[in-house]
Chains A and B, each alone.
Chain A
Amino acid sequence: MDAILLQVLNGLDKGAAYALIALGLTLIFGTLGVVNFAHGALFMLGAFCAVTINKVLSLQKVVLSQTETTAWGTPLEIRTPFAQEWFGDFGLTIIDYSVPLSILLAIPFMLIVGVVMERGLIRYFYKRPHAEQILVTFGLAIVLQEIIKAFFGANPIQQNAPELLQGAIDFGAMFGDPGALVYPLWRMVYLGFSVVVILSVFAFLQFTTFGMVVRAGMADRETVGLLGIDIDRRFTIVFGIAAVVAGTAGVMYTPILPPDYHMGMEFLVLSFVVVVVGGMGSLGGAVSAGFLLGILQSFASMTEIRDLLAKVGIVGLDQIIIYLIAIVILLVRPRGLMGRKGVME
Chain B
Amino acid sequence: MLTLFTKSSEKSDLLLLALFAIVVFAMPIWLAPFGAAYPDLMQRFAIFGIFATGFNILFGLTGYLSFGHAAFLGVGSYTAVWTFKLLGMNPIPAIISAVVVAGLFALVIGFISLRRSGIYFSILTLAFAQMCYNLAYSVLTPITNGETGLRVLQDDIRLFDAPTVGEGAPLISHIGGIEMQGMPGFYFCAVLLIVMVGVAMRIFRSPFGMMLKAVKTNQTRLNYTGVNTRPYTLAAFVISGMYAGLAGSLMCVIDPLAGAERMQWTASGEVVLMTILGGVGTIIGPIIGAALIKYFENIFSAFNDQTLDGIFSFLPEPLKEGVVNVTSLFVGDGWNLSLGILFVLIVVFLPGGVTEGLNRTGKFILRRFGIGRDPENEEKTSPAPGE
- List residues of A whose CB falls within 8 A of some B CB: 35, 121, 124, 128-132, 134-136, 138-143, 145-147, 149-150, 265, 269, 272-273, 275-276, 280, 315-316, 319-320, 323-324, 326-327, 330-331, 334, 344
Contact = CB atoms under 8 A, between A and B. Distances in A.
A273 B123 contact: yes
Interface of B: 59, 63, 65, 67, 112, 115-116, 118-120, 122-124, 126-128, 130-131, 134-135, 138-140, 265, 269, 272, 276, 329, 333-334, 336-337, 339-341, 343-344, 347-348, 351
B343 A146 contact: no
Contacts of A138: 269, 272, 343
Given A150-B334, A320-B131, A344 B344 contact: no
Nearest to B328: A150
A18 to B, nearest CB: 13
B336 A142 contact: yes
Given A140-B344, A143-B341, A315-B139, A131 B123 contact: no
Contacts of A150: 329, 334, 337
B119 A130 contact: yes
Nearest to B276: A135
B71 to A, nearest CB: 12
B128 A139 contact: no
A146 B336 contact: yes
A273 B127 contact: yes
Contacts of A132: 347, 351
A141 B269 CA distance: 11
A326 B124 CA distance: 8
Q: At the interface, is chain A mostly helix, strand, loop or mixed?
A: helix
Contacts of B348: 121, 124, 136
B112 A327 contact: yes
Contacts of A323: 127-128, 130-131, 134
A316 to B, nearest CB: 3
B288 to A, nearest CB: 18
13 contacts: A124-B348, A130-B118, A131-B122, A138-B343, A145-B340, A150-B334, A269-B126, A272-B127, A276-B120, A316-B135, A316-B139, A319-B139, A320-B134
Contacts of B138: 316, 319
A327 B132 CA distance: 14
Contacts of B334: 146, 149-150
A181 to B, nearest CB: 28
A131 B65 contact: yes
A97 B169 CA distance: 62
- By CB atoms of chain A within 10 A, which of B124, B126, B329, B340 has the most? B340
Q: Which 4 A-B pairs have the closest CB atoms?
A: A316-B139, A142-B340, A139-B343, A146-B337
- By CB atoms of chain A within 10 A, which of B63, B127, B134 has the most? B127
A142 B124 contact: no
Contact of B347 (A35, A136, A319, A327): A136
Contacts of B127: 269, 272-273, 276, 323, 326-327
B337 A134 contact: no
A142 B139 contact: no
B337 A135 contact: no
A269 B241 CA distance: 21
A135 B123 contact: no
Nearest to B64: A131
Given A143-B344, A323-B130, 18 more contacts: A136-B347, A138-B269, A139-B341, A139-B343, A139-B344, A142-B336, A150-B329, A150-B334, A273-B127, A275-B123, A280-B120, A316-B135, A319-B135, A319-B139, A320-B135, A324-B131, A327-B127, A331-B115
Contacts of A265: 265
- By CB atoms of chain B within 10 A, which of A131, A275, A276 has the most? A131
Given A124-B348, A135-B276, A139-B344, A319 B134 contact: yes
A71 to B, nearest CB: 35
Contacts of B329: 150
Given A124-B348, A316-B138, A142 B343 contact: yes
